[in-house]
Copies of this chain bind each other. A is one copy, B any other.
């Protein structure tokens, strides 16, 4: 079966294989490189970077929950300048495919970030994490506001021009996800990343207060996989031509396949890497074996397979 085609595309970006890291779950890549060569997976999606350096949220920043975890990192990071100067050249040297994730507090900040990323060599795509509080609108998360979501993507699109594919990363914490998805696609997103974490909270029974320093946190891991599958399925149903980078609780090739059948063209592995540093390569191998065993000639032929007509 050497002719099996495992490649995928997101917009005009081509990837040899479809398993990626998830933003914020691989830092800038170096740490995982202790465990496998980064070029073995589809791409490294870097931790969402903001314009200025950030301390992030106070600790505790995590709580384990049944089959999941909450995190409230608060986008700690070095800021875009230091990030582009220190982290990107190293990744490029590794021959890793790179997707840079950006995050902002204002529509302007996203555009500024896009301008700084635009001219960097060796980048395959830009992921726009819009699950951030909009300081100009009472801290309402961009991704929860159809209008703000569109304006962020619009600003990034204008700045970037036509070259670099834009992947808009959406939050599942909305009433009408297909609507938000349509909006950002109309504003120029080439692909969608689904899903970011689900808003959750844990109360510490000893202190009798919210456990996390930031009170609420993002729920990730296998617990949310059914939500991810549903989100991907819903969005693929209304826009089958828009590629989706799926994520949410994937920790085996079987899980990745579920997201692909639902409509994902690629799959990011997040929390699973915390429990297994080799998760991304393990999942990629298992997925390949499963697709071949089921007789698919290529990854692409399996994308959205669960939507086919009953009589096919």
Interface on A for B, CB 8 Å cutoff?
63, 65-68, 70, 144, 173-176, 198-203, 205, 208-210, 215-217, 219, 221-227, 229-230, 233, 249, 254, 257-258, 261-262, 290, 294, 305-306, 310
Contact = CB atoms under 8 A, between A and B. Distances in A.
Contact of A305 (B208, B230, B249, B257): B208
Contact of A223 (B173, B215, B223): B223
Contacts of A200: 226-227, 229-230
B67 A226 contact: no
Given A68-B67, A144-B175, A306-B210, A227 B219 contact: yes
A66 B68 CA distance: 9
Contacts of A216: 230, 233
Contacts of A221: 66
A294 B205 CA distance: 10
B233 A210 contact: yes
A227 B199 CA distance: 6
A174 B179 CA distance: 13
A208 B261 contact: yes
Nearest to A290: B205
Contacts of A70: 226
- Number of copies of this kind of chain in the complex: 2
Contacts of A305: 208
Contacts of A225: 65-66
A226 B208 contact: no
Contacts of A176: 144
B227 A68 contact: no
22 contacts: A65-B222, A65-B226, A66-B68, A66-B249, A68-B226, A173-B175, A175-B175, A198-B198, A199-B227, A200-B226, A200-B229, A200-B230, A201-B226, A201-B229, A201-B230, A201-B233, A202-B226, A203-B258, A203-B261, A203-B306, A216-B233, A223-B224
A98 to B, nearest CB: 30
A253 to B, nearest CB: 10
Given A67-B68, A175-B175, 14 more contacts: A65-B226, A66-B66, A66-B225, A66-B249, A67-B223, A174-B175, A198-B198, A199-B230, A203-B229, A203-B233, A205-B257, A205-B290, A209-B306, A210-B233
A217 to B, nearest CB: 8
B222 A198 contact: no
A261 B219 CA distance: 20
A7 B227 CA distance: 36
Nearest to A180: B175
Contacts of A290: 205
A209 B305 CA distance: 8
Nearest to A216: B230
B203 A262 contact: yes
